[in-house]
Each structure stands twice: as C-alpha cells, then as structure tokens.
Amino acid sequence: MRLRIAPMQHRLVPAVSTLAISLLVAGLTGCDSTTTRNATDPGTPPFTSATGAAGASPGGASVAQQASAPTPTPGAPVPDSLHLLSPGRAGRLRLGMREERLKEVVPANLLRATTYQDQGKTLPAYEMRDAQRPEAPPTVLHLIGDSSAGFRLRRIRIYDPQYRTAEGIGVGSPFGAARQNLGLTKVRDTPAGFAAVSGEVQMAWLIDPKSLPAKHPAEISSAEVPPAARITGVLLYQ
C-alpha cells in the first residue's frame, strides 16, 4: 500500500515559508535603533561628532524637521530668511561656499578682513556686520584652504540674537531648549568658550560662563549645565 503525502507537503511548504518570513521581519524590526541624546565625551576634537561621522549634510533638515514641522519655542522670536539657522546654513551663508561666492552674497562694506589661529597656522577670516542692525555683534566667518586652491567657508560664529533656528533657538535662549529640540552630543571647552555640541545639527551652543559650576571647564559634565543657562553664541561647523 502506498501513502500519498505529496499534497500535504505542498500545503505545508507555503505555511512554513510564511512563518519564516514573519520571523525574519520581526527580527529585523527588533534590531532597529533610535538616536540617543545622552552627552558623551570620548576625547574627540571640538566640533567633531561623538561618532566621528560627518553628521548631517550642510543645509539639511533640522532634528525637529526629521519627524515633523519645527515647533517654535513659546515666546521665542521667529527669524526671517536672512537670519534663519539650519545645519550648515546661516541665512544666505552656507558652509563650504567659496570666498568668491561669499563676497557676492555679502556686500563688501559689511565685511572686515581679519585672521584666526588654527593649529599654529594663521588663516583668513571675516567679521560680518548686519545691514539691518549695524550695532549688533558681528558674525565671525572662518575660512580654510590656501592661496593656490582658494579658500572656503569653514565655520560660522554667531553672537547676533537675530539669528535663530526654526524653533526660535539662538543667542539668549536657555540651554535646555536647545538640548530638548536640537539634541546634545557632548560638552566641550572650545577656543570660543565652553560649548554644548549637537552633532545631529552640526551646531554648538556657547554657554554663559556665569551659569556654569565654579570648576575647570574640562571637569564640567553635561548634567551640571543648568537648563536655564543662557546661550551666548552659536557655532556652525563641518
């Protein structure tokens, strides 16, 4: 007597395949991870993300925009397009733009040539005045490159409170608002002052030293920075 089991095998194979695919999908879903915002300090140089990665590309969407439209902080000023901060951008300025383009975007009467020091080298920089408020603190533009290849915009230091992110965060904002809305990678003692760095948006927030604990900046942890500490400057970097 012969047993006919082939039809049963054909019925079992699709069921087993379906189960295997379901288990595989569930396993991949379980491996998905989210970005943490716990400040760490692995000893990387200032203005470098904790992972060492380049981070968001200049001009990319802000952290808040990645999930939904930015929500302005209650009571915070809303910037116009000339003073809007986003990753790699400050108004019409864009990190990486060549010096020639910079001079096309900004009128010559608003730029004052200067220099800055970087690892023993003297490099060109500009102090940029604001046409709407000439009395406002100038924005400092650091260039990188050489005379043969040309120079490009490397960093932007902002002290003018007109410049804000879409969430309304800028000079004068509480540190806690920046941390909550834009993330925090680490805190660092930089040449510009003690800063809280967000690798997610490639920005660093200079903290009012009067708000910090009475200890050496290198010994201050992110947990010791009061949420109400005032931001005195914003650094954009690559």
Q: Residue 57 domain-assigned?
A: no
DSSP structural state of residue 7 = H
Measured CA distances, 158 to 10, 48, 171 (Å): 69, 18, 8
Q: 70 pLDDT band (50/70/90 cuts)?
A: low
Predicted confidence at residue 78, as pLDDT, reads: 73
Predicted confidence at residue 79, as pLDDT, reads: 80
Of all residues in the chain, the percent with pLDDT exceeding 90 is 62
Domain count, the chain: 1
Q: Which of 77-81, 139-143, 186-190 has the highest mean pLDDT?
A: 139-143
In angstroms, the CA 113 to CA 127 distance is 7
Predicted confidence at residue 238, as pLDDT, reads: 79
In angstroms, the CA 78 to CA 69 distance is 14
In angstroms, the CA 138 to CA 109 distance is 13
In angstroms, the CA 50 to CA 63 distance is 16
Q: 76 pLDDT band (50/70/90 cuts)?
A: low
Q: Residue 102 domain-assigned?
A: yes
Q: Residue 232 domain-assigned?
A: yes
pTM of the model: 0.69
CATH of the domain at 186: 2.60.460.10
In angstroms, the CA 59 to CA 84 distance is 11
Q: Which residue type is seen at 133?
A: R
**pLDDT, tens digit, 9 for 90 and up, residues 139-166:** 999 999 998 999 999 999 999 999 999 9
In angstroms, the CA 221 to CA 12 distance is 59
Please choose, from the candidates 234, 231, 212, the residue with its C-alpha nearest in 3D space to the C-alpha of residue 173: 231
Q: Residue 180 domain-assigned?
A: yes
Q: Which residue type is seen at 188?
A: R
Predicted confidence at residue 224, as pLDDT, reads: 94
The CA-CA-CA angle for residues 179, 211, 174, to 5°, reads 35
Between 31 and 138, the more confident residue is 138
Q: Residue 24 domain-assigned?
A: no
Find the domain containing 206 and state its range.
Answer: 63-236
In angstroms, the CA 24 to CA 22 distance is 5
Q: Residue 5 domain-assigned?
A: no
- The answer on pLDDT for 177 being more than 50 is yes
Q: Residue 105 domain-assigned?
A: yes
Q: Residue 15 domain-assigned?
A: no
